[in-house]
Structure 1
């Protein structure tokens, strides 16, 4: 029995050691983009057997009589002519037999090919359709289609989905093409993956083996945090190196755990069920973003403290109490990068890129009001608001910048938002823009209270709050021109009296929305 106690103690120590080597044991040696050609199937092959190779064609050299100076001297002319005639006849007969055999062989091939084509017609059509689908999928991936890129990375990560063995599956991927950003929502194991037992001993009184010492909850949290960090590093590494054509410059990793996941660590089982009963969505326990340039400075093979590296290098947000399912705010929620959600509403609602400035401003104000904010325009800062709301009995204040542009927004806009947050002593800053963001923008936002909603993320945010919208490039005739505050002004040639007018008199005649917001007279007179 004492030996059994020692064996159990050694087993839990080995489990702890294995958890410290999750990254090294599961990191692939080489990561390459998917080979689309290797995913294609081959058309069913027809085995022709001996008929696959034609018989050799008879040649005159095989039948010609021997000649030479000595033979001509020793052989009569009549004999030489008879031998020549015999050889010619044999050669002619051989050619005739060859032609007959070759014609028969070709006839057999044609018959077998016809039979094979009829028998394998369905398989052939299936293979050709499959290969055409692979080509279409490749083209969609290389053009940055969000659904295709998300599906591509689901295939890339399929071999790593449940490694180490026993870890959960069900990972999700989202792609924001405007910012070349890939979001990975990775299902984490519960904290029960870390054994609480530290030492077993034999109890002579009960003649049984039991736990003599338990692992402290602080140590359990530390080991669990290291496991989550290792999974995050592996995920970012694979995502960047499997990029097929420079599609991804920033990777956002959200590590989530199901509320009903087994193994809630040190919590009482009744408390675990009670806490999970009120939750339906996965709980985010770790969230980080890393640009390609940032991650290139990291050496995944030589990390002594993975969690510390993520916090210091990437400003990772990590739950301090994962055993209590205390969530952290994700850098970018999956709902704002879900390709299926964005595609579902892409054909509905106003066009954010071509709508008149007044309509764009009104839609963004309605969005913020549905998020619970009361807005006050900031003076001398078109397109900027001071937003207030009450959450959990506590008042919050945020700075909001609206920027309507195409292409990519300069990182200076994100820096300006951070400066405005400090100047207004706000809790956070929100950037709502139709443009994409550079990787440096996400680098700057690391560790700062800035929430960036760019491109399709803005569309998804509108959809989540019941405001369908779309972003179709405007035509040349209706394309609004840019103005100083970054939003779009009236179309060229407009007299300002149409629906795209930003005249102050038109802006003061807005219909009330029924939500709490500043009066129309307090709005800036210019477009925002």
Structure 2
């Protein structure tokens, strides 16, 4: 019988194989364990990501729902503000003349870093540091320390001197600024005092201006509601007549609520019921009318009003014609005593307007169904032209046009002296454009005045006014006055607004001369030369209106075809009428900003076209274009200023400086039809008139 050996090479090899197999099995088990662990971690990660995704989705939904709720709350707050407009507005303080005054308390002088003096060096910090006692090294150290101290002291003293110089210059600049500010404030407050005097005496212009300011500056109105007002005062009836712009239909939100739709991931607007929106809008209009009346009566501290007639309007497109028009949606006449008995915070605005005051309120204002307004501001009297004082019937009354220029300047100086000022004529050479130097000794509002004299027969161009302003700035005068025997155009009057300038026309000059015991007349008659012949009985007025603050000249060309009859048939600021007076520039009546009087039937027989145009005034608005010429229209009025038609014209475009508004063309039967224009010019008025046959030198 044989026995198996357990210690031979085969046994060793077998044992190695078993150990290797055990190691492989252990590695496989470890890899399997790792795989299971990775799978477990992956499942945990996926569960965590799913949870985070669900949380993000829930947070996003909550955020969108909160945003939808915020938008809904804003809509509700907007409707609540509109619904409670009158109840909230009555708690606002009443307007008074004091609100127009400007405080004379200016920002105090603040020198800033210049207020701190430069620190001087301390001698104690410049002691010698050399060891020893009284030897040569110690003396040298003391000398070096003294030299450093002297240098540092000189540098500090120089810096301090520079600081004091800068401080003095800065103080001088502040004092000049403060003086200019105080002068402007005092001029403004003096104007307010004149307005207050006019209000107390019931002067119509002052009353209308004051109550217009009361409405425009009232704190009772939300900022997004309109504030446009035109007013006139009927002193005989003690009645204020005004027009007040009302909010449009879009003031009432079309959306009632906003909700989030998670399936589509978007917000959806829930529309407000049409009947509810119409009712809210009609109630808002009635509240606006009553609140405007409240502001007017509350501001009447002088007791000049017994009643107010108000017409509320919106600027929109007339549904009947499609043209832009002023559509009146409410009108009312309110007696002061009846209005004072109302409890504005609790009443129904619509019922009060209709039942108490028997006013008119559009039944469908959202459809711009108009009501017929009563009296409008332009119906209250008529502008009274400034007439010259009656002249004595004396053949020796001097003709200002024929007067020697030096004598005329001396006459103007005598006028200023008669008005209580010190005035002398200047030397003929080197006067810097100043003809008369005057000093007003009146405290506070007085000062130096430079006067230029223009003995013209034609309209003074705006360049002369601009030159006077430059002279005022160059000389440091308080005011500049331009005196002429002629007149000034719209561009000149636009330029002087807000500047220390005053324009005295020939008509005003004659009146001032006679008020102060001096003599003078314009031409052979007792009146200054009129810019136009007396109007023919049968004429029309073309009123031009537009939005925007740019200064424009409106002109007319009497043409045959595309060519003007002659240079004299070009009506503009420097030629206010044609030779026969059939086309004349006249003062505009609001809302028009320029106006022409035209006798169509009397135009020359060879004329078949009247071209209307407008152009930038380059002396007032250099570099401007017609991009601000918007919402323009031409009103055709009869001789009694009743509106016959409203003619739409094209808006201006960027880069253009002149524009043809349209032309009236004579038809075979003698009638005149309006044809809208729209052609623009980048070369200004010169390019336009050159295109119509006028040579420009």
Task: Name whichever structure is richer in strand by fraction.
Answer: 2
Name which one, 1 or 2, has greater alpha-carbon Rg. Answer: 2
Task: Name whichever structure is richer in helix by fraction.
Answer: 1
Structures share fold, TM-score greater than 0.5: no
Q: TM-score, normalised by structure 2?
A: 0.35
Q: Higher relative contact order by CA 8 Å / sep ≥ 6: 1 or 2?
A: 1
